[in-house]
Structure 1
Amino acid sequence: MSHLQGCLCPQHLLQGLVNQGQRDNRLELHQVSVMSALMDGVYEGEMTLAELFGKGDFGLGTFNGLDGELIAFDGEAFQLRSDGSARPATGDQKTPYAVVTFFEPQLTLKVDSPVSRRALHHDIDEQIGSANVFCAIRIDGHFNRVKTRTVVRQVPPFRPFTEAVKQQPIFDFSHATGTLVGFRSPDFIQGIGVAGYHEHFITEQRQGGGHVIDYHLQQGSVQFGIISRLVVHFPKGEDFRHANLTPAFLDRDIRRAEH
């Protein structure tokens, strides 16, 4: 039984995209670098947040040196730090990996009964109706619990991501009101991006948050919309040029690190 109040069948949702016409360019997903580069320790990027937000003002990512998690929405961007705190991000900060869009939700639904992350993802999957499309997601509400992590800032020589996350602090936000920003990506994108759900959270007071490991939503609103195009901006540095982007256990390592 779905916890989402409302229904829009996949055919109508996709037809809505066709009718967008000239607005279709706002359904692009812009990504800085690729996830396999981050996994291999490419933690320094060239793109500033000011440049990034010219391509999309809603999304998530990280900062140079893995110095915290990025979350952006409503014209604001925040740096979620390894001590569990949050602070406004600045335009001159750079990112080695980020994913942004101009958020255009095709559907807003209400959650009026408690639901787990896994169950809510199942409901969203049913509404979308296809495993082969990208989806941007925003959840505003009251969470019984949000479990997050934030990697500690790294210094050269950089370790692979799987090593860096072994020391990541874990935080539990109990009875917290806040906003969750995320993307659902198809399995075929693994290594380019993160397959499945990738979500970041920040409290309503903008005082804390992080990369989401799990949550339990008490009540709130869920907005989501399909993305029509993916644009990847590849780094130009030597570390990217010489990175191992096709390691033997890439899928396993990303799932362990991100989920």
Structure 2
Amino acid sequence: MICFLFLISVCSSGCIGTEKEPGIKEYGTDVIYQISTIDALLAGMYEGDLTVAELKQHGDLGLGTFNDLDGEMVLLDGIVYQVKADGVAYRVKDSVKTPFATVTKFENDISGTTDREMNNTELNRYIGTLMPSRNLMYAIRIDGDFSYMKTRSVPAQEKPYPRLAEVTKDQPTFEFENVSGTIVGFWLSEYVGNVNVPGYHLHFINSNGSTGGHVLEYMIRSGNIEIDITDGFYLQFPATADFLYADLSEDLTEELVQIEK
């Protein structure tokens, strides 16, 4: 296991102050917890050994996928949703396993609002102005009304698993108009390359928990934005043979860019 820790606090004026001397501390609540790496998922390692019940011990907000790459995961307010390839969101049993997920125990540090229509590029730019540093890690929650939302999911795969870039070539996409719901996810710095997705990685669930998926693009009318500045990053490796004996030295940057389009 690897643990990187950044200790910070946010002042009411928006400034950043050091709460303690930087260094290793006991695993706490303001930590992004991750199982496996994005490169392992890109390479087709869709079988993990961590259950949803175990995952929820580490966070109440986040995203990921499920064994066999069976849909998109949305974790919101402690509830895990599985958006399958039919576009329908299902609540997930605790016994289901995940090969890749990123979660945190969400605590709002910075708030923002929008009351004008913006596309995802414009809103991402606005959220960026709220972040005190481009070298920290942020969990993001956006509760809003959207005039347009486009998402995707992925169908369950069978062994031998294809690479993720091959799967997403024919990914099902879903388009919604006049929908309310919640976007959850993360903004991570460029230095996480090979481990997670640099920049924004966001999933969506509608207000009644019936549909959603991996966010591709949207137009927001109005919404509330909450940002959790995390003080640590905890990476756990799966104990599966596929992961332990895989060659993960290949540069998969281009494939990551392809699947995030």
C-alpha distance 91-10 of structure 1, shift in aligned 2 (>3 A): same
Contact 2:63 2:103 in 1 (8 A): yes
Match of residue 70 from structure 2: 67
Equivalenced residues, count: 248
| Alpha-carbon distance in 2 for matches of 1:104, 1:207 | 25
Is it true that 1:173 corresponds to 2:148 in the alignment? no
> Is the 8 Å Cα contact of residues 112 and 225 (structure 2) preserved in structure 1?
yes
Aligned equivalent of 2:109: 106
For the 8 Å contact 2:83–2:211, the answer to whether it is kept is yes
| Alignment-derived partner of residue 256 in structure 2 | 254
SS in 2 for 1:131: coil
C-alpha change, 1:180 and 1:13, in structure 2 (3 Å) is: farther
SS of structure 2 residue aligned to 1:205: coil
Give 1:220 deviation, angstroms.
Answer: 1.1
Alpha-carbon distance in 1 for matches of 2:166, 2:185: 24
Asked whether the equivalents of residues 10 and 128 of structure 1 are also in contact (C-alpha less than 8 Å), the reply is: no
Mapped pair 1:193 → 2:196: yes
**For the residues of structure 1 that align with 2:202 and 2:28, how far apart are their CA atoms?**
23
Relative to structure 1, the CA distance from residue 10 to residue 150 in structure 2 (aligned partners, 3 Å threshold; closer, same or farther) is farther
Q: Which amino acid aligns with 1:252?
A: E
Aligned partner of residue 103 in structure 1, secondary structure: coil
C-alpha separation between the residues in 2 aligned to 1:117 and 1:219? 12
* Inter-partner Cα distance in structure 1 for 2:180 and 2:130: 25
Please point out which of 14, 17, 32 is paired with 1:12.
14
CA–CA distance in structure 1, aligned partners of residues 15 and 204 of structure 2: 26
Aligned partner of 1:127 in structure 2 is 130
Any idea what SS the aligned residue of 2:48 has? coil
Confirm or deny: 8 A CA contact 1:41 1:159 kept in the other structure.
Answer: yes
Alignment partners' CA distance in 1, 2:223 and 2:27: 28
Residue 10 of structure 1 deviates from its aligned partner by: 11
Flag structure 1 segments of 5+ consecutive residues without an equivalent.
1-7
* Stretches of structure 2 lacking an aligned partner (at least 5 in a row): 1-9
CA distance in 2 between partners of 1:200 and 1:34 (Å): 18
Q: What CA deviation, in whole Å up to 9, does each residue of 1:180-213 have, x standing for no partner?
A: 1010000110110111100000111211110001
Superposed CA RMSD: 2.0
TM-score by length of 1: 0.91
Tell me the TM-score normalized by structure 2: 0.90
The 10-residue stretch of structure 1 (123-132 or 169-178) with the greater mean CA deviation from structure 2: 123-132
Among all aligned residue pairs of Structure 1 and Structure 2, give the percentage whose two residues are the same amino acid.
36
SS in 2 for 1:65: helix
